[in-house]
């Protein structure tokens, strides 16, 4: 600040004395004013809004992640249940098929036995007459 005052005084002296200065370096200083209170308040509000928006984005990302994990869990559980039900149904169908096959074998055996008996009776009657 002192150099600014000296530069100012030197300029006044030289101008009033009618002399011009060449080869003399004048120091120029620029003074900046502090921001107006309204600008500072607006910047603070903007900064706060940006922080709130960033927090909202973080919260949204967290909710998306949690929802995705929930959907994966539900899909996994559903897949497990469907697999178990399919296995149970397949076992029941196999048991039923085996049971029907055994009954059919028994029925066929019974029919074959009956036909054989009938054939033997017919042979005996024809051969005995």
pTM of the model: 0.40
32 pLDDT band, cuts 50/70/90, is: low
Q: Residue 110: its pLDDT value, please?
A: 74
In total, the chain counts a number of residues equal to 129
Give 27's contacts (C-beta < 8 A, 6+ positions apart). 3, 4, 7
Q: What is the pLDDT of residue 63?
A: 95
Here the tokens at position 44 are: 């603070």
């Amino acid at each position: 600040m002192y150099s600014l005052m000296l530069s100012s005084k030197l300029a006044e002296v030289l101008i009033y004395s009618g002399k011009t200065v060449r080869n003399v370096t004048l120091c120029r200083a620029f003074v900046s004013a502090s921001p107006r209170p309204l600008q500072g308040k607006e910047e603070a509000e903007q900064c706060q809004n940006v922080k709130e928006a960033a927090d909202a984005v973080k919260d949204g990302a967290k909710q998306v992640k949690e929802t995705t994990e929930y959907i994966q869990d539900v899909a996994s559980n559903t897949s497990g249940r469907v697999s178990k039900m399919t296995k149970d149904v397949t076992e029941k169908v196999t048991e039923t098929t085996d049971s029907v096959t055994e009954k059919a074998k028994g029925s066929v055996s019974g029919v074959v036995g009956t036909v054989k008996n009938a054939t033997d009776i017919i042979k005996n009657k024809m051969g005995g007459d």
